[in-house]
Amino acid sequence: MRILVIGSGLAGINAALLASEFADVTLLSKGPLEQTNTQRAQGGIAAAVAALDDPRRHAEDTIRAGAGLCDPDAVHALTGDGPEAIERLLQLGVEFDRKADGALALATEGAHTIPRVLHAGGDRTGVHIQSALVARLAECDVDVRTHVTVSELIVEAGRCVGVVTDGRETLLADAVLLATGGAGALYRTTTNPANATGDGIALAFRAGAVVRDPEFVQFHPTALLGANSAFLISEALRGEGAVLRNAAGERFMIQVHPDAELAPRSVVARAITETMHRDDADHVMLDISHLDADFLRERFPGVYRGALNRGHDITAGPISVAPAAHYHMGGVYTDVAGRTTVPGLYAAGECASTGAHGANRVASNSLLEAAVFSSRAIDAIRREPGPARAPSGEMRTLHWRLEGCAPSLERLQATMNDLVGITRNEAGLQNALDRFSEWSAEPPTQVDPSLPLATLTARLIAEAALQRTESRGGHLRLDHPGEDPTWHRHSLWQLARE
Ligand code: SIN
């Protein structure tokens, strides 16, 4: 059996390692193996491993934060498999932080009702996970190819049978697993690496797969913004007691939610945005300087150094923060076995929509999802069952001309930031869609092979954001500020047949 894995974060490498036990595996990575959202993860990975915790409680917390759109089966798969996924990561060599007595150290983050976030190297969890995975990959028999962009999936008689790369190479396989990661780099201000342009969603969509809920983009509440960059300030700081203040120095989250700074992420991001608007400011302040400086340097070495390099000292006083594009809840629809609606095509990690996150992902559930569902997908490939049944509900279709493409990634990012960002309204979204139409009428000028894919994923986000005339989870419509019960459903998207 031959398996192609596209992507080199936790989902991709974990899948490749498992698949190499029974198949010939090729792993394709668009950039260097480490240029992933996994590598950048700070806070950690959530799992019910504490004596007082259990997967049902983890599931309840996840569902409560998901704003009505979590799929309970997916959530229970996520939290139920969680402890086993952690055991596997330990076996792969990830050294999670431990307390003096040797027990795993567990942190608190927003919406979790008990400390359940494992971390490594303080706030360098992603670096530790990624490097353990890369080390294990080097030891096993996987054909690893970096700096290869997949430009198309090959579908024959309705089945995905391989890929075409930007070098026009054809690679055939019995199964293709998309693990291409997130789409944050469709935005100018993002915590994601530059290659996180949502390629997997566009590839799957063009191959006929169902895409679900693309409008749900999570903006992390606290990033340190530079001119064209956003450095993540982990939610784990708020878990340790960091507070948010407005321009007058007041703690505004106390009035917003009983859990204050540890409310679900969409609630905090929205409150920060509204506070910035009221204060006519481009940031609010985050303060953890009341804690001991040595403790902060040890617990948050990555944030401490990263902020210091940008001229901010978290031990000395408040620092300025603002929301930035961080995580894509929407993605390629899969069942709990990682199967898409196209036979032979699987998806896991951030590019997938398993239903585990609903409209608002809980902090540190994403690494867990990558670990759990990549293992499940490889299990399904080994057993070779059919595709996922298409989800029930109204299916929207979208025409797409293959050559339709933004003139540059910068133009695309500016459009997404300005018109399809953390706050949205009908006029802005329509304006964005008009630009997409203009671009598809223009002859392509791009050289970046993933720009057509990025443009398609961006357009799906904008189309779905316009359709959803309510605010829910990470989707905030200024012209429809409340939840609408008639929108208590997923949005489903499929390629229109000519
Ligand atoms: C963080 O450390 O705040 C990010 C963790 C996550 O997005 O799950």
For the CA of 109, the closest atom of ligand 1 is 3
Mean pLDDT of 147-154: 96
Which ligand 1 atom is nearest residue 43's CA? 2
Q: Compute the distance from residue 492 Cα to the ligand 1 centre, in Å.
A: 27
Residue 351 near residue 334, CB atoms below 8 Å = no
- 440 has pLDDT over 80: no
Give the confidence band of 400 by pLDDT, cuts at 50, 70, 90: confident
Ligand 1 lined by 218 (C-beta under 6 Å): no
Q: What is the spatial distance between Cα 495 and Cα 404, in angstroms, rounded to a whole number?
A: 14
Query: What's the CATH code, domain 222-324?
Result: 3.90.700.10
Ligand 1: distance of its center to the CA of 235 in Å? 6
* Domain 396-495: top CATH class: mainly alpha
Indicate the burial class of 176 (C-beta count within 10 angstroms; 0-12, 13-18, 19 or more). buried
Q: What is the pTM of this model?
A: 0.95
Structure tokens at 291: 């804690």
**To the nearest whole number, what is the mean pLDDT of the chain?**
95
Query: For residue 464, is pLDDT > 70?
Result: yes
On whether the CB atoms of residues 283 and 276 are closer than 8 A, the answer is yes
Q: What is the pLDDT of residues 100-149, one digit of tens each?
A: 999 999 999 989 999 999 999 999 999 999 999 999 999 999 999 999 99
Q: Is 118 in the pocket of ligand 1 (CB under 6 A)?
A: no
Band the pLDDT of 443: cuts 50, 70, 90.
low
Give the pLDDT confidence of 37-57 residue by residue, as tens digits. Answer: 999 999 999 999 999 999 999
Which whole number is the average pLDDT over 285-291?
98
Q: Is 236 in the pocket of ligand 1 (CB under 6 A)?
A: yes
For ligand 1, whether the C-beta of 363 sits within 6 Å is yes
Task: Answer whether residue 442 shows pLDDT above 80.
Answer: no
Amino acid at 161: V
Task: Give residue 402's pLDDT.
Answer: 54
Give residue 221 CA to ligand 1 midpoint distance, Å. 10
Q: Which atom belonging to ligand 1 lies closest to the Cα atom of 366?
A: 8
329 CB near ligand 1 (under 6 Å) = no
pLDDT of residue 228: 77
Angle, CA 198 vertex, CA 472 and CA 430 arms, to 5°: 55
Q: Is the CB of 42 under 6 A from ligand 1?
A: yes
446 confidence band (pLDDT: 50, 70, 90): low
Residue among 119, 192, 235 to mutate when testing ligand 1 (max atoms within 8 A of CB) = 235
Q: Are strands 2-6 and 175-178 parallel, antiparallel or unpaired?
A: parallel
- Contact 364 CB / ligand 1 (< 6 Å): yes
Superfamily covering domain 2-183+329-383:
FAD/NAD(P)-binding domain (3.50.50.60)
For this structure, is 265 an active site residue? yes
**Tens of pLDDT, residues 261-285:** 999 898 999 999 999 999 999 999 9
**Paired sense of beta strands 331-333 and 24-29, if any:** unpaired
Pick the atom of ligand 1 nearest to 218's CA: 7
What is the percent of the chain with per-residue pLDDT over 70, rounded to a whole number?
98
pLDDT at residue 67 in the model: 96
What pLDDT, on a 0 to 100 scale, did the predictor assign at position 165? Answer: 95
Residue ID of nearest Cα to ligand 1 atom 7: 363
Sheet bearing 319-328, strands edge to edge: 230-232, 217-225, 319-328, 284-287, 243-245
Selection from 335, 391, 364 nearest residue 235 by Cα: 364
Domain boundaries, the chain: 2-183+329-383, 222-324, 396-495
What's residue 54's pLDDT? Answer: 97
Q: Angle 216-222-225 (CA atoms, 0-180°, nearest 5)? A: 100
Residue 395: how many other CB atoms lie within 10 Å: 12
Query: Which of the residues 124, 265, 299, 339 is marked catalytic?
Result: 265
Determine which residue's CA is closest to atom 1 belonging to ligand 1.
234
Q: Which atom of ligand 1 is nearest to the CA of 233?
A: 3
Confidence of residue 445 (pLDDT cuts 50, 70, 90): low
For a mutational test of ligand 1's pocket, the pick from 190, 234, 314, i.e. the residue with the most ligand atoms closer than 8 A to its C-beta, is 234
Distance from C-alpha of 448 to C-alpha of 222, rounded to nearest angstrom: 30
Q: So what's the pLDDT on residue 77?
A: 98
Is 239's C-beta closer than 6 angstroms to any atom of ligand 1? Answer: no
